[in-house]
């Protein structure tokens, strides 16, 4: 195995991922790494991983993978919902590009090139295996139009809502077929609610037997129904919330064991040191830290701070081929950061319903287009985002507010609040959020 130094980068936006892949996959001589494997773990909070400082041993295999990878310590997803976050990863566009599609469509809009299309046009065999009910080829209750399959030779969706071993079995079959170069997109759903790890992974963190059936079954929906649908409080006690968090952690630990299986399959196919392997998540998860449950609700780091790992064998000394087509993308190449040079001072932006956020890594401004007062957080002093420091940090606020206004004007233009409201209504009507 080539020597790969672990590097921790202070931040990185997932939106840049697609462009980074594009940049790295078009080296001229020799074309290495030749395959691209993109692992997207739905609903995976960075702060629940040992590699990100969590005290529980939830992720020994991911931690080992992180030691061989470039780690973006401070990556934030560009939205707090599968739709539109996954679209951004697959197209390198800001989430506004996917809002307001006709007939409640959530997939990759016509006219926006997808990563799979671009790689296929460069000779890649493109395969997706998705356990997500949103990231689909065909319609589902959560995505009435499907539409995420553009550019994929194969889009396997039989593993919907299934555990990681289902995705892994499908992935292993494609890896064994040996078609190269390969772009493999794997979308895992394990940490997403309801939190139901396989029986053999139960009772590692969640101990005892809660009285309430919905708690025992790892179902956070009664809390959501209380918060968002006007139903009575389901009798939530602190121990119930802790039990749900424990089950969530068990889901992560189970996924982690399956990550080792997947890496074993990649290695067995002879591809581990011939592939760019990326692990990312589309958003985090809320456990009432900010008054919300599940996701698709806010832009606090509980929902936005996600892992981003990039394992690149033999990266050094390559010429990057990024031509004028780069301006089709909103993301940018992460190569400068990966190689330790040319670290751009760029901002991270986020969109969720009527909320917009911008962060410079130290501070994060969250603005509500619906008119609620903005809030500024010092992520270094207050990673839990519990204290609004806006009154004391007027200059920082003004700087980030102006940057956000300019981003909004560039990407959304007029009528943005109406569109955001409409998109939120659509998600509600689908039952995707309450
Ligand atoms: Zn998701």
Pair 334, 358 in one domain: no
- Inform me whether the pLDDT recorded for 245 exceeds 50: yes
Expressed in angstroms and rounded, the spacing between residue 261 Cα and the centre of ligand 1 is 22
Pair 314, 359 in one domain: no
Helix H or strand E segment including 422? helix 416-429
The H helix count followed by the E strand count for the chain is: 12, 16
* Mean predicted confidence (pLDDT) in 1-16: 42
* Mean predicted confidence (pLDDT) in 396-405: 95
Out of 338, 365, 383, a domain closes at 338
**% the chain with pLDDT above 90:** 72
Expressed in angstroms and rounded, the spacing between residue 81 Cα and the centre of ligand 1 is 5
Pair 352, 333 in one domain: no
Pair 322, 381 in one domain: no
* pLDDT reported for residue 342: 60
Query: Which of 66-70, 168-172, 278-282, 332-336 shows the lowest mean pLDDT across its residues?
Result: 332-336
- pLDDT tens digits for 336-392? 777 776 656 679 999 999 999 999 999 999 999 988 999 999 999 999 999 999 999
Expressed in angstroms and rounded, the spacing between residue 135 Cα and the centre of ligand 1 is 9
Pair 360, 316 in one domain: no
Expressed in angstroms and rounded, the spacing between residue 43 Cα and the centre of ligand 1 is 5
Domain count, the chain: 2
Expressed in angstroms and rounded, the spacing between residue 269 Cα and the centre of ligand 1 is 29
Expressed in angstroms and rounded, the spacing between residue 119 Cα and the centre of ligand 1 is 24
Phi, psi of 365 (to 5 degrees): -105, 130
* pLDDT reported for residue 418: 57
Expressed in angstroms and rounded, the spacing between residue 82 Cα and the centre of ligand 1 is 3
Expressed in angstroms and rounded, the spacing between residue 309 Cα and the centre of ligand 1 is 18
Pair 117, 173 in one domain: yes
Helix H or strand E segment including 400? helix 394-411
- Inform me whether the pLDDT recorded for 407 exceeds 80: yes
- Across the chain, mean pLDDT equals 87
Burial 25-48 (b: 16+ CB within 10 A, else e): bbbeeeebbbbbbbbbbbbbbbeb
Expressed in angstroms and rounded, the spacing between residue 355 Cα and the centre of ligand 1 is 18
CA distance 430 to 414: 26
The CATH number linked to 379 is 3.30.1120.10
Out of 311, 338, 365, a domain closes at 338
Band the pLDDT of 424: cuts 50, 70, 90. low
Expressed in angstroms and rounded, the spacing between residue 289 Cα and the centre of ligand 1 is 19
Expressed in angstroms and rounded, the spacing between residue 12 Cα and the centre of ligand 1 is 19
* Mean predicted confidence (pLDDT) in 133-147: 94
Expressed in angstroms and rounded, the spacing between residue 283 Cα and the centre of ligand 1 is 6
- pLDDT tens digits for 157-199? 999 999 999 999 999 999 999 899 999 999 999 999 999 999 9
Q: Report the sign of the C-alpha dihedral through residues 59, 61, 67, 72, in that order.
A: negative
Helix H or strand E segment including 129? strand 125-130
Residue-range definition of the domain harbouring residue 278: 7-198+239-338
- Inform me whether the pLDDT recorded for 26 exceeds 50: no
Please tell me whether the peptide bond between 131 and the residue prior to it is cis, using omega within 30 degrees of 0. Answer: no
Pair 115, 62 in one domain: yes
- Give domain status of residue 98, yes or no: yes
Query: Which of 76-85, 114-123, 327-336 shows the lowest mean pLDDT across its residues?
Result: 327-336
Pair 52, 146 in one domain: yes
Expressed in angstroms and rounded, the spacing between residue 189 Cα and the centre of ligand 1 is 8
pTM for this one? 0.89
CA distance 166 to 82: 20
């Amino acid at each position: 195995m080539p020597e790969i130094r672990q590097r921790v980068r202070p931040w990185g936006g997932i939106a840049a991922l697609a462009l980074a892949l594009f940049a790295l996959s078009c080296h001229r001589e020799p074309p290495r790494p030749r395959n691209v494997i993109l692992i997207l773990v739905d609903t995976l909070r960075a702060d629940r991983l040992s590699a990100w400082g969590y005290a529980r041993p939830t992720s020994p295999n991911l931690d080992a993978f992180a030691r061989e990878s470039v780690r973006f310590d401070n990556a934030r997803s560009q939205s707090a919902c599968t739709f539109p976050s996954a679209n951004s990863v697959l197209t390198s566009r800001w989430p506004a590009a996917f809002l307001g599609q006709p007939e409640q469509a959530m997939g990759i809009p016509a006219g926006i090139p997808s990563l799979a299309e671009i790689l296929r046009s460069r000779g890649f065999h493109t395969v997706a295996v998705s356990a997500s009910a949103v990231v689909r080829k065909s319609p589902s209750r959560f995505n009435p139009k499907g539409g995420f399959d553009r550019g994929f030779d194969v889009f396997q969706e039989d593993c919907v809502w299934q555990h990681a071993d289902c995705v892994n079995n499908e992935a292993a079959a494609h890896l064994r077929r040996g078609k190269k170069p390969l772009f493999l997109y794997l979308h895992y759903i394990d940490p997403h609610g309801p939190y139901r790890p396989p029986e053999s992974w139960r009772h590692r963190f969640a101990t005892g037997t809660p009285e309430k059936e919905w708690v025992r079954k790892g179902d956070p929906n009664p809390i959501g129904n209380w918060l968002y649908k006007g139903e009575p409080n389901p009798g939530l006690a602190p121990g119930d919330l802790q039990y749900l968090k424990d089950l969530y952690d068990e889901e992560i630990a189970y996924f982690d064991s399956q990550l080792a299986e997947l890496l074993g399959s990649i290695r067995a196919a002879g591809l581990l040191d011939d592939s760019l392997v990326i692990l990312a998540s589309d958003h985090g998860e809320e456990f009432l830290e900010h008054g919300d449950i599940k996701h698709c609700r806010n832009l606090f780091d509980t929902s936005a701070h996600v892992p981003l790992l990039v394992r690149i064998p033999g990266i050094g000394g390559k010429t990057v081929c990024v031509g004028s087509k780069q301006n089709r993308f909103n993301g940018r190449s992460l190569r400068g950061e990966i190689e330790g040079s040319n670290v751009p001072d760029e901002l991270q932006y986020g969109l969720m319903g009527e909320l917009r956020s911008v962060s410079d890594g130290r501070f994060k401004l969250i603005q509500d287009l619906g008119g609620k007062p903005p809030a500024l957080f010092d992520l270094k002093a207050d990673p839990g985002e519990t204290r609004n420091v806006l009154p004391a940090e007027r200059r920082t606020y003004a700087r980030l507010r102006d940057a956000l206004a300019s981003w909004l004007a560039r990407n959304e233009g007029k009528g943005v609040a109406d569109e955001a409201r409409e998109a939120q209504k659509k998600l509600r009507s689908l039952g995707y959020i309450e």
